[in-house]
Chains A and B, each alone.
Chain A
Amino acid sequence: EPEVTQTPSHQVTQMGQEVILRCVPISNHLYFYWYRQILGQKVEFLVSFYNNEISEKSEIFDDQFSVERPDGSNFTLKIRSTKLEDSAMYFCASSPDRGTNTIYFGEGSWLTVV
């Protein structure tokens, strides 16, 4: 069964450093997403991406964050100058379209900022 894959599974970074989280969405999907889950809290939407551009983003997704699809298969989330409060599990997800289809999630990348 096709799945969304994410790397790394866990990353520890110093405050102020840049982090890139990588994702390979399901191959025939057209919409890609990043969500995050701070420990013990709800799953929060960050951004969605379609046709090589951001289609929707939340208030959380400020200038510190950026997304890119550099090579037609990978979908990356970059966090510039990480802060302690960026520590969270970051989930990549994809869906065939944005209609009634299900969003499929990856296993997550656990980011710890120290």
Chain B
Amino acid sequence: AQSVAQPEDQVNVAEGNPLTVKCTYSVSGNPYLFWYVQYPNRGLQFLLKYITGDNLVKGSYGFEAEFNKSQTSFHLKKPSALVSDSALYFCAVRDMAAGGSYIPTFGRGTSLIVHP
């Protein structure tokens, strides 16, 4: 079975500071990992994904995420936060093991608040 955990309900960071939104996952095979962002009253927007290759994945709006197989983590990062980055962030995982579902499982979401 595949699962994903976002251990923080909320992350607060000052504008200009680096931010990290944490995500850990559990799969039986190799993971296919996503990050999505949801702004207020909007749908989920794709930020980035990891399939294989370089462990550091770069995505939209200056975000990046680091895949760490030994720690089963895929934390979202940005070197310098903007107030406009304030939103709800969702991590998702799909298990690439044979016979696994092709439907990604989403985490509960982490609310990122960037203070001016």
Interface size grouping (class) on chain A: 20 to 34
Do residues B109 and A43 form an inter-chain contact, with CB atoms below 8 A?
yes
Docked pose: A76 CA to B109 CA in angstroms: 26
Q: Are A41 and B101 in touch, CB under 8 angstroms? A: no
Binary contact readout A74-114 vs B (1 if CB under 8 angstroms, 0 otherwise): 00000000000000000100000011101111111000000
Q: Which residues on the B side are within 8 Å of A4 (C-beta)?
A: 43
> B102–A104 contact, CB under 8 A?
no
Task: Report the minimal beta-carbon distance from B61 to chain A, rounded to whole angstroms.
Answer: 15
Chain B residues with Cβ under 8 A from A45's Cβ?
103-106
User: Which listed residue, A6, A35, A42, touches B107 by the CB 8 Å rule?
Assistant: A42
Assess whether A108 is in contact with B109, with CB atoms less than 8 Å apart: no
Cβ contact within 8 Å between B101 and A56 = yes
A58 to chain B: closest CB distance in Å? 8
Give the CA-CA distance A45 to B107 in the complex, in Å: 11
Q: Determine if B108 is an interface residue (Cβ-Cβ < 8 Å).
A: yes
Give Cα A43–Cα B106 distance, bound, in whole angstroms: 6
CB distance from A91 to the nearest CB of B (A): 6
Q: Which of B36, B90, B104 counts the most A-chain CB atoms under 10 A from its CB? A: B104
Question: Roughly how many angstroms separate A96 CA and B39 CA in the complex, as a whole number?
Answer: 24
Tell me which residues from 29 to 87 in chain A have a Cβ below 8 Å from any Cβ of chain B. Answer: 33, 35, 41-45, 48, 56
Residue of A with least CB distance to B96: A100
B22 at the interface (CB under 8 A from A): no
The residue in chain A whose Cβ has the minimal distance to the Cβ of B105 is: A45
Query: A105: which B residues are within 8 A, CB to CB?
Result: 36, 43-46
Assembled-state Cα–Cα distance A105/B36 (Å): 10
Using CB atoms, name the residue of chain A closest to B34.
A102
Q: Shortest Cβ distance from A51 into chain B, in angstroms? A: 14
With A48-B103, A56-B103: A43-B44 Cβ-Cβ less than 8 Å:
yes
B51 contacts chain A at the CB level, 8 A cutoff: yes
Q: Are A100 and B32 in contact (CB under 8 A)?
A: yes
Binding site for A on B (CB under 8 A): 32, 34, 36, 42-46, 49, 51, 90, 101-109
Q: Top 4 closest A-B pairs, CB basis?
A: A43-B106, A107-B43, A105-B44, A42-B108
